[in-house]
Amino acid sequence: MKKNIILSLLFVLLPVLQSLFGQNIHSDNRNGTFTNPVIPADFPDPDVIRAGDTYYMVTTTMFVFPGVTILKSQDLVNWEYCSNAVPRFDYGKCYNLDSCNRYGHGQWATSMKYHNGKFYLLFITLNEGGFMCTADKAEGPWKITHLPKGFYDPGLFFDDDGKIYVAQGYGKISITEVNQNLEPVSKDSLVFTGDIRGGLEGTHVYKINGYYYLYCTYGGVDGIQVALRSKNIYGPYEQKVVIRDTTPGVTYGIHQGALIHTQSGEWWTMLFVDSGPFGRFPSLQPVTWIDGWPMVGMDGKAVITYKKPNVTYPNNPSGQDKKYPVLVFPASDEFNSGKLGMQWGWNHNPDSANWSFIQKKGVLRLTTGRVVSNLTQAPNTLTQRPFAHYDQSVPTSAVTKLNVSGMKDGDIAGLAVFQDPYAFIAVKQTNGKKQIIMVNNGETVDSVSIKSSTVFLCTTASNKTKKAGFEYSFDNKTFQPLGNELLIRFSLKIFTGNKFCLFNYATEKTGGHVDFDWFRVK
C-alpha cells in the first residue's frame, strides 16, 4: 500500500521535478502562455486538423517504422503520441535494407483530413508513388492503399459540393480531381507557377468565406510562407506572402504547415523551423485575417512566447479558464511493458524474428540476422528523436545498460547518434575478447579492453554546439570519455534529425545477441 502511494505521488510530481532539474521538455509555461518551438524535436512538414474537441498532427518520418506518426492535443500546445499509421512499409526491398536503402526518401509531407466520420492521410514516396491511409479513429487501426498516381506534397480537399481535389507540385502547383478512392478522374491542371523563387511546395487547401486558399511554402532554411487565393478551385490565383521571418533564432525561416480554426473562432497556423542537427521543429503561430489574407505572427514576425489558444466553444465563458495538463513526451524506457513505447522507431523495416522482449523478460534483446559492413546497413537499429532543451545551453544525454555475454566474434553493439555523419560507442567482440570502441563516421577512433559482461554506454548531444560525445561506465556512476566528439549536422542525404540509436550488428556471422536492460534520457 505504502509503495503504491509513493508511486502515485511521484507520478503527480514528475512534471514539476523534471522542470526543476532541467529535464522537462515542453512549451507550456503554466501561466496561460507558451513558448516556441511548440515541440522542440524533429516533427517536420506538419499538417494539423481538428475533429470535435481534439487536434491531430501528422508529420514526416520517411524511412523510420512504425512511422507516419500522428500526435493529438486538446489545446494545440500540449501534444502526445496518438498512433503510427504505418507499422511497416512492404513496398520494396530497400525498406528492408536489402542491398539498398531509403535514406532521404520514404514517406514525405502528408495531408490529413477528417471527412464524414473518417480520417484520411495522403502522402507520396518518391520511389514507390502515392499512398492513402484511412481509419475510423485516429488511434487506428489504419488501412494503407497504394494509389495509381502519386501527388508531390499533396493537399487533399473535400469540397462542399461533394467533389474531391488534390493540390500538388514543386514550383508549379496543379489541381487534380479524384474519386473517393483518391484515383484521378481528371488531368492535372496547372493553376499557379511560383514566381518569388524556385521550390514552391507543401500545399494545403482550404475554402474560407467563398475563397479557395492554397497555403504553400517556398522551402529552405530561409523559408517563405505564402497563401494563394481564388474564387474558383482552378484559379486564377493571386499570391500573398503571409510571413517571411529571417530574424536569427528559433523562428528563422519559419514555413510549411497548416491553417487551424479553433472552437472559439480563433485562427492559428502550425509551421516548422529548420532548427539545426536535431531537425525541424513545429512552431505554433497566431493568424490574423487582414483584407482576406491569413497573416501569420505579429507585425510581420513570428512569435516566441505568446498567449495560448482559446479552444472553448462560443457562449461558454466558464470553459475559457479550463486548464489542460502539461504533457511531456516519453523518452526513457525500462523495457518492462512488453512492447516498445511510441517514441521508438526502427531504421527501415524491423526484422521481427530478431528482436524480442519474450526471450528475456524486462529487456530488449537484439539478435544479429545478417552480416553487414557498417551501421548504415544494420537491420533492427532502434531509434528515437532527441528533444532539445529550451535552455539551449543544456545538452541532451542518453544512457543505456547493456549485457553483452551473448555476442559472437565480429558483433558490434551499442549506442549511436545517427545522421550523416554518425558516431557511436559500442562493444566489439574479436577472437572471444571484448573491447569498447568509439567509431566516428565509420573510423574507429579509440578502444579499451573489458572483461565485464555488463556495461553502461552514454552519449551527450547538443543542438546548440552541434557536438556529441561518448562515455562508458561499469557501475553507472563513474563514466569515462572515449574517442573524440562527433560534429553533428542535418544532412539532406538522411533528411531527418539526428537520432539516438540502439543497435547490434554482425560483421562475421549471425546469431549473436545482446540485451538492453533500459534506456534513460537526462
Nearest one of 134, 108, 130 to 121, comparing CA atoms? 134
Question: What is the rounded distance in angstroms from the CA atom of residue 179 to the CA atom of residue 165?
Answer: 8
Please choose, from the candidates 497, 494, 504, 417, the residue with its C-alpha nearest in 3D space to the C-alpha of residue 102: 494
CB 402 within 8 A of CB 413: yes
* Residues 42-48, mean pLDDT to the nearest whole number: 98
pLDDT tens per residue, range 390-432: 988 899 999 999 999 999 999 999 999 999 999 999 999 999 9
- Strands (E) across 116-197 are located at 118-125, 129-135, 143-146, 155-158, 164-168, 172-178, 189-193
Question: Within 13 A of 295's CA, how many CA atoms are on the CB side?
Answer: 9
Q: Which domains does the chain have, with CATH numbers?
A: 40-321 (2.115.10.20), 345-521 (2.60.120.200)
Read off the amino acid at residue 410: G
CA–CA distance, 217 with 238 (Å, rounded to integer): 14
> What is the pLDDT at residue 319?
56
Mean pLDDT of 4-33: 53
Band (318; pLDDT cuts 50, 70, 90): low
pLDDT over 70 at 301, yes or no: yes
Supply φ then ψ for residue 236, to 5 degrees: -75, 150
Residue 193 — pLDDT band, cuts 50, 70, 90?
very high
Q: What percent of the chain has pLDDT over 70?
A: 94
Q: What's the rounded Cα separation, in Å, for the pair 381 and 366?
A: 9
**3-state DSSP assignment of residue 398:** strand
CA distance 493 to 440: 17
The C-alpha cell of 275 is what? 532548427
Positive or negative torsion for Cα 473, 478, 482, 484: positive
CA angle 7, 12, 13 (to 5 degrees): 95
d(CA 438, CA 483): 5
Q: What is the rounded CA–CA span in Å between residue 322 and residue 316?
A: 11
Share the mean pLDDT of the chain. 94
- The yes-or-no verdict on residue 6 having pLDDT over 80 is no
List, for residues 459-503, the tens digit of each pLDDT value: 999 999 999 999 999 999 999 999 999 999 999 999 999 999 999
Residue 11: what are its φ and ψ, rounded to 5°? -65, -40
* Rounded Cα distance, 198 and 490, in Å: 22
* pLDDT score recorded for residue 26: 85
Kind and range of the H or E run holding 487: strand 486-487
What is the pLDDT at residue 19?
Answer: 37
Bond into 386 cis (ω within 30) = no
**15 has pLDDT over 60:** no
Grid cell at residue 394: 543544456
Place of cell 512488453: 338
The string of pLDDT tens digits covering residues 116-152 is 999 999 999 999 999 999 999 999 999 999 999 999 9
For the cut 60, the answer to whether the pLDDT of residue 18 exceeds it is no
**Grid cell for residue 263:** 472552437
What pTM did the predictor assign?
Answer: 0.94
Residue 508, all three cell numbers: 562475421
The whole-angstrom separation of Cα 232 and Cα 252 is: 33
Percent over 90 (pLDDT), the chain: 91
Distance CA 327, CA 80 (A): 7
Query: Cis before residue 236, ω within 30 degrees of 0?
Result: yes
Q: How confident is the model at residue 25 (pLDDT cuts 50, 70, 90)?
A: low
pLDDT at 261: 98
